[in-house]
Structure 1
Amino acid sequence: MASQLDLTTSAITCVSASLSVLSGLAILWSYRQFPQLQNFTRYLLVCLTVADIFTAYGNFISTFRWFSNGNNATKTDGFCIAQSFLTTTSTLSSFFWTTAIAVYLFSAVALRVNIAEKPGVKLSMTAIPIIVPVTITGVALGYGALGEDDYFGSGPWCWINRDVNNRLMWKVVTGKGWEIMTYILTLVIYILLKFFKWRESRRHNRQFSWSDTDLSLRDADEIFEISWLFLLVARIWGTLRFFLETFDVHPGDKLQNTLLCMQCIGDSSQAFWNFIFFFTLDPELRKEIRHLICLRLHGLVHVHCSL
């Protein structure tokens, strides 16, 4: 039978991933339901959310492997490799689209160049975060790097085969290197955006809004300025475990298990955090949803509705 820690982390992952999938589907629904709120920023958010849904789904189905197989789940099998390919690819795509959003907003706000309007840019910013991760993960698959890692770097899901040569290199190439790069790039870009807003506000002696530079931007999109923060909060636990393993640091079982549990929550919850910040905290979206609900109630009990 699997250990108590295995069962606990599997249960945590299952709950976190389930919330993430449902939250991600709500974001996709809102994008389709309210075309008046669509712009390129939210289009990239949809792409990011799809990637996060796949990650959460892969982590979710991996928990059933632990629940059903117990200790036999520590052996690499076809299901494990397929799940690792899915979640490794989707996680890399998530990093790429997070960076793409930051680059697009910086170009539109600070440089006053809407790159989305240039021929081929939308296609490129959609295709590259898919093609490059698939290529990276495909190479890892070809070298037999994907498989069961026995919790060395992940939770109850498969990632890098614990028996592969140069395991540290594969972890950097298939995830951690891109993850840390995403932290740094998005933090720098959003600091520059903050500085630009401050400078423009002082220059014009009024509060600067993103829509002042490009009418295709919504003021509600300014919440993306802190997207790097909740990406960091969600995934820092796995990164800390990665560095502890890399430098052969052993802080004790209690801290190790705590970091593992936090990683099981964070690595599966990104679509949920997207929902919190870009769905529930979007005033225009909340207004449209309230109006939609009111219209539905109006058909039932004749409630008066107005925007």
Structure 2
Amino acid sequence: MAEAAYLQMSRDLRISTCTITCISGLLSVMSGLAILWAYRQVPQSRNYTRYLLVCLTVADIFTAFGNFISTFRFFGMEQSRPNNDAYCTAQSFITTTSSLSSFFWTTAIAIYLYYAVVLRINIAEKRSAQVLMTVIPILIPVTITGIALGYGVLGEDVSSGSGPWCWIRNDVNNQVMWKLVTGKAWEGMTYIITVVIYVLLKFFKWRKNRRSCRQFRWSNSHRCLQDSDNIFEISWLFLLLARIWGTMRFIFELAQIRLDPSVFNAFLYLQCIGDSSQAFWNFLFFYTFDPDMRQLVCPPRCCVRGGYTSVTVPKEICLEAL
């Protein structure tokens, strides 16, 4: 059935999905590199929260790059029986591992913030804790994907459960089980954990604001935090908005729900955009709401009589002039 769907896929749909994925992946790779550059260029903004964001960004870059290079293979194939070549298997290994790492890093950010804000404990103070928080989001995904590779389940799924990239082969036994183990189960667990922690953080801040009758500041909660770190409490939302479309397609496929072709194609387009775009959205999110990043991209300029100066000056001087 999946192969028949592949053979019936129109050339226009193949071109459009490849084009969307290519553009989304390229933008995400460039945005991820910009986040890494900003982390290096603004040392005053560095803390463990930003370090975890950098780790998440590296994983998202690999996902976007894997999806990007997959479009060349997908578009270049003839409209005939798809095959499981080494290129497809390698791409599936890269994107499956990086996607799993992205789920783990998103969860790690939420857990770290909960400990620092609510429990007032910096779990990254100990070197052993730092090593564990760095190794676990890498080791577990590599182990899971390595097992899948050993069983020979990575490969061409003829776009039944993904966009124009390889994931789990369509001709293997227990395909649904492998898709859960190599992605969807961990993705759902990430949503549950991060949303629960988000609600707990919101309740904690509401209680603090009510008791003190003033705005709660994250920097007062623990010295390891900055006030601008509050933007990271909704980092899970960007993961959800980016990847929910592929998850919904997976649910429709699992429940054997037949969608109208236009609706099916719309979900496929949204998945092609979302699955490769998380680093891009994190870039916009990071630069828009982080004051240090905004100052790096758009330095404050002094307002004087007769117009604006073309010389960048320190923010304190601008404030005094006003």
Question: Is the pair's TM-score, using the shorter chain for normalization, greater than 0.5?
Answer: yes
Q: What residue in structure 1 maps to residue 37 of structure 2? A: 29
Residue 193 of structure 1, CA deviation: 0.2
Q: Deviations over 1:212-251 (max 9, x none)?
A: 1112211111111222222111111000001001111112
Q: Name whichever of 186-195 and 213-222 sits farther off.
A: 213-222
Residue 305 of structure 1, CA deviation: 2.2
One-letter amino acid of the counterpart of residue 57, structure 1: F
One-letter amino acid of the counterpart of residue 115, structure 1: I
Quick one: structure 1 residues 306 and 257, their matched pair in 2 at CA, closer, same or farther if it must change by over 3 Å? same
Residue 285 of structure 1, CA deviation: 1.5
Q: Name whichever of 208-217 and 239-248 sits farther off.
A: 208-217
Distance 1:153 1:220 in 2: 38
Residue 107 of structure 1, CA deviation: 0.2
The answer on whether the counterparts of 2:63 and 2:276 sit within 8 Å (CA) in structure 1 is: yes
Sequence identity of aligned pairs in percent?
62
The answer on whether the counterparts of 2:156 and 2:166 sit within 8 Å (CA) in structure 1 is: yes
Quick one: structure 1 residues 293 and 177, their matched pair in 2 at CA, closer, same or farther if it must change by over 3 Å? farther
Distance 1:176 1:71 in 2: 29
Q: Name whichever of 138-147 and 114-123 sits farther off.
A: 114-123
Q: What residue in structure 2 maps to residue 186 of structure 1? A: 194
The answer on whether the counterparts of 1:66 and 1:73 sit within 8 Å (CA) in structure 2 is: no
Distance 1:171 1:25 in 2: 29
Distance 1:7 1:73 in 2: 18
One-letter amino acid of the counterpart of residue 144, structure 1: G
Quick one: structure 1 residues 251 and 128, their matched pair in 2 at CA, closer, same or farther if it must change by over 3 Å? same
One-letter amino acid of the counterpart of residue 119, structure 1: R
Q: Which runs of 5+ in 2 are unaligned?
A: 1-6, 303-308, 316-322
Q: Deviations over 1:263-297 (max 9, x none)?
A: 00000000001101112321222113334999xxx
Of the three residues 238, 244, 247, the one matched with 2:252 is 244
Of the three residues 12, 20, 38, the one matched with 2:20 is 12
Distance 2:166 2:269 in 1: 16
Residue 7 of structure 1, CA deviation: 1.2
The answer on whether the counterparts of 2:219 and 2:226 sit within 8 Å (CA) in structure 1 is: yes
Of the three residues 279, 292, 317, the one matched with 1:271 is 279
Residue 197 of structure 1, CA deviation: 0.4
Q: Over aligned residues, Cα RMSD in angstroms?
A: 1.8
TM-score, length-scaled by structure 1: 0.94
Distance 2:301 2:55 in 1: 26
Q: What residue in structure 2 maps to residue 54 of structure 1? A: 62
Q: Which runs of 5+ in 1 are unaligned?
A: 295-300
- Structure number with the higher helix fraction is 1
TM-score, length-scaled by structure 2: 0.90
Q: Name whichever of 284-293 and 19-28 sits farther off.
A: 284-293
- Counting only pairs closer than 5 Å after superposition, residues 104-183 of structure 1 correspond to structure 2 as 104-183=112-191
Distance 2:58 2:119 in 1: 29
Q: What residue in structure 2 maps to residue 45 of structure 1? A: 53
Q: Name whichever of 100-109 and 1-10 sits farther off.
A: 1-10
Q: Name whichever of 144-153 and 65-74 sits farther off.
A: 65-74
Of the three residues 287, 292, 296, the one matched with 1:284 is 292
Q: Name whichever of 178-187 and 61-70 sits farther off.
A: 61-70
Secondary structure of the residue aligned to 2:209 is helix
